[in-house]
Structure 1
Amino acid sequence: MAKVCFGMIMSLDGFVNDRDGEMGKLYASFEPNEEINNMMARTGAVILGRRTFDLADADSYAVDYEFQVPLFVVTHHPPETHPNENDRLTITFVTDGVESAVQQAKEAAGEKDVLILGADVFRQALRAGLVEELQMAIAPILLGKGLRLFEELEELEIQLEKIRAIETREQVEIWYKVIQ
């Protein structure tokens, strides 16, 4: 059965983008590594929020997106024109909530994992108790302002168990199991 994971890079002070909504400064220190490559190989479907999906040209996903798997985009407003797809990457716009997106993504992923990308859709899935594992990369930067990943979760108290941690030349990556 597919495991639902969340992955994100954030600043040491907890921001996933800067004061201008940009993420480039966070990725300046990112280095692909064996653990990230293994995670990507284990991914059978990806769930994104609409804002995260819109960060790239919609038709570019079929050409050069690193995850060539079914994508499920949680949104209230699907685009008028459906983006390009290919034989591995399909795009489904899910308008009936994150729970539906997770169910559809698990079916599409089969035995592989489902990866959630995007702060808002992550918070929705976490509130609904659907996230089983977190992979957090900590970038060596203090942004001071921007979008905080763990904002608006005051009503939750969630225990985490560290699964593993790796250190690259510039950053630390930590994997946690969510204990509900």
Structure 2
Amino acid sequence: MGKVIYWMNTSIDGYIEDRDGGMDFMEPAEDFKEAANDHLRRTAAFLFGRRLYEAMEKPWTQDLGKEGAPAVEREFARLYKETPRYVISDTLQTVPEGVTLVRREDAASVVTRLKQESDGTFQLGGPELAVSLLDLIDEFWVYAFPVLVGGGKPYLPVREALRLRLVEHHCLASGITFRRYVRT
């Protein structure tokens, strides 16, 4: 059976975007890029909310990964394009080849089917999407960048407590920390 992993990068005070909706505070260091590539090699598919999909798709399929870009970015772009992508959205009408459009009302059944049909890991991104699929998430991953932003969009805006158990953590040389949690 497959696993759904909710992974978002944050500030150390738990925000994925600052108060202005920016993510510039998360300048990825080389060791983080290598870790991301390592995770991506083991990812069966991406499960994106619309906003995160739009933030990822054009840069990694068109702008980045071209000749002259650092090797680690070219590798991420290649892996990204080779990985099936599902975008859960009621507003998008079309998506390019390699992307599957799923309507919100069908999201839970599609994710359940994917988990049943694969032993792989499915990387879910987008806090609103994660809240709507919370019961299907098996692990919660956080890469925390060494910066405080003091407010913005939180990692996961849950409405009630969800107890987790830390099963892995380490610090990259750049000061970015990784934490992996499972449900208790």
From the superposition, tell whether residues 171 and 161 of structure 1 become closer, same or farther in structure 2 (CA, over 3 Å): same
Counterparts of 1:68-79 in structure 2, within 5 Å, are 68-79=82-93
SS at match of 1:143: coil
Once the two structures are TM-superposed, the CA of residue 101 in structure 1 deviates from its matched residue by 3.7
Cα deviation for residue 130 of structure 1 reads 0.6
* Distance in 1 between residues matched to 2:57 and 2:38, nearest whole Å: 26
Mapped to 1, the partners of 2:13 and 2:30 lie a distance apart of 17
Partners of 2:12 and 2:146 in 1: how far apart?
6
Pick aligned residue for 1:149 from 141, 145, 155:
155
Per-residue CA deviation, residues 36-70 of structure 1 (Å, 9 max, x unaligned), is 44422221011000011111455953883643211
Q: Per the alignment, do residues 20 and 97 of structure 1 end up closer, same or farther by CA in structure 2, a change over 3 Å counting?
A: farther
- Match in the other structure for 1:166: 170
Partner of 1:82: 95
**Inter-CA distance 149–60: structure 2 relative to 1 (3 Å threshold):** closer
Aligned partner of 1:100: which letter?
Answer: S
Shift of 1:8: 1.1
Aligned residues: 168
Aligned equivalent of 1:103, options 108, 112, 116: 112
Superimposed CA distance per residue, residues 114-163 of structure 1 (whole angstroms, 9 cap, x where no aligned partner): 1101111112111xx11000111111111112111232x22x22111111
- Aligned to 1:134, what secondary structure does the other structure show? strand
CA RMSD in angstroms, aligned pairs only: 2.5
So what's the TM-score if we normalise by structure 2? Answer: 0.79
Task: State how 1:128-147 maps to structure 2 within 5 Å.
Answer: 129-147=135-153
TM-score (norm 1): 0.80
Aligned sequence identity (%) = 24
Range that drifts further, 53-62 or 65-74 = 53-62
More helix by share: 2
Distance in 1 separating the partners of 2:114 and 2:156: 23
Matches within 5 A, 1:14-29: 14-29=14-29
- Does the 8 Å contact 2:165/2:182 carry over to 1? yes
Q: Which residue of 2 aligns with 1:120?
A: 128
Higher mean C-alpha deviation, range 8-17 or range 35-44: 35-44
Structure 2 unmatched runs, 5+: 66-76
